[in-house]
Amino acid sequence: MTSQHRKRDERPVDPFKSLGNETRLEILRALYEHRQTASATGEQLPYSTLRERVGVEDKGNFNYHLRQLREQFVEEAAEGYRLTFAGFEIAKVIDIDAWRSHEKRGPVPVGDASEGNAAGDTGAPPADTEASGETPDAPMKAVYEDSIVKIERGETTLFAHAVRPVGAADRNMSDLLDVASTLWRHTIEQILEGICPYCHTTVERSLTIGSEGPWEYSFAVECPQCGPIGGSHAGTALLTHPAVVSFYWDHDIDLRNRRFWEVPFIGDEAVTVLDEEPLELRIDLELDGDTLAVILDDDARVVDTKRSNL
């Protein structure tokens, strides 16, 4: 955490100081609203129009505040002013309408891997799931609350991903779940590539057994800037691997169209511990009598795959 604090101290400008003024917020808002309705090439707002929309008659006063935003949040171009990328991000965050509170949705029942298998459309379960004779778990359900889609079993949250309220507003719950699944898969893909989904710096992953989370086998992710940014079941590390994607594709299943919580290899039953020091796991996939064994190292990296017929 030392490097994190040092980086904070080195930041030259306090963004909230330059934003702590109603006129400056109005300038951002005016440029943001213009950008929402403008064409891709017409995002600039002429100086006179901008000042008129912000509603400041005193030109000197307006210029002063505009200057405070220049470079970092607002830039001047050939035909007027526009938001920088940082300005766009800030304006989006402070866009109150985009975060206006919304009704909680759900819970609604969602299918999990075993239900999918019963319907015959998700592929075979790991061999011991149905034979184990254990009491069935509570059914999975989904809720949308505080801008977060959560997949829960009983009181336990298995997966969670934010969907901004504006993105949720015009979608029904089923479409919203599809969106959450897609966003989640993209987030995992970034993490697997070593990219923090929030700040884009390099993240560290580590495979663990018996963590505090809902899974026995999981990986944790740590960002030097953002801190711990969660983790997921170890099987998640397979979701976008080409050997896994093509294994499913060869059995007429496009993994992109699966809600990830319905995928059978994201579950502890599919995992076998090969070695504990360093940790090495095997995750077994089975479809129509074909198997794919995937080996993960202690960074949750796929290091080997083996495909065979039963």
Q: Which is nearer to Zn ion, 188 or 223 (CB)?
A: 223
Q: Which stretch binds Zn ion (CB under 5 A): 145-153, 189-197, 246-254, 286-294?
A: 189-197
Q: Which is nearer to Zn ion, 109 or 228 (CB)?
A: 228
Residues 226-245 within binding reach of Zn ion (CB under 5 A): 226
CB of 90 to Zn ion, least distance (A): 18
- Per CB under 5 A, 196 contacts Zn ion: yes
- Per CB under 5 A, 198 contacts Zn ion: yes
> Residue 245 has which token pair?
């994607």
Residues 19-58 within binding reach of Zn ion (CB under 5 A): none
**Residues near Zn ion (CB under 5 A), total:** 6
Q: Which is nearer to Zn ion, 25 or 183 (CB)?
A: 183
Binding mask 152-181 for Zn ion (x = CB under 5 A): ------------------------------
- Per CB under 5 A, 249 contacts Zn ion: no
What are the backbone angles phi and psi of residue 135, rounded to the nearest 5°?
A: -65, 135
Measured distance CA(88)–CA(86) in Å, rounded: 5
Q: Which is nearer to Zn ion, 191 or 223 (CB)?
A: 223
Measured distance CA(72)–CA(19) in Å, rounded: 11
Measured distance CA(137)–CA(146) in Å, rounded: 26
293 membership: H or E segment, kind and range: strand 290-296
Q: What are the C-alpha distances in Å from 181 to residues 148, 221, 239, 263?
A: 12, 19, 12, 11
- Per CB under 5 A, 193 contacts Zn ion: no
Give, in degrees to the nearest 5, the angle at Cα 216 between 211 and 217: 90
Q: Which is nearer to Zn ion, 138 or 199 (CB)?
A: 199
Relative to beta strand 140-145, strand 80-83 is unpaired
**Residues 234 and 221: beta-carbon distance below 8 Å:** no
In the list 223, 237, 238, 281, the residue contacting Zn ion (rule: CB under 5 A) is 223
Q: Kindly write down the DSSP assignment for every residue of 170-236, as one continuous string.
A: TS-HHHHHHHHHHHHHHHHHHHHTTB-TTT-SB-EEEEEES-SSS-SEEEEEEETTTEEEEEEEGGG
CB of 204 to Zn ion, least distance (A): 11
- Per CB under 5 A, 225 contacts Zn ion: yes
Q: Which is nearer to Zn ion, 9 or 170 (CB)?
A: 9
Residues 118-157 within binding reach of Zn ion (CB under 5 A): none
CB of 137 to Zn ion, least distance (A): 33
- Per CB under 5 A, 221 contacts Zn ion: no
Applying CB under 5 A, the residues found at the interface with Zn ion are 196, 198-199, 223, 225-226
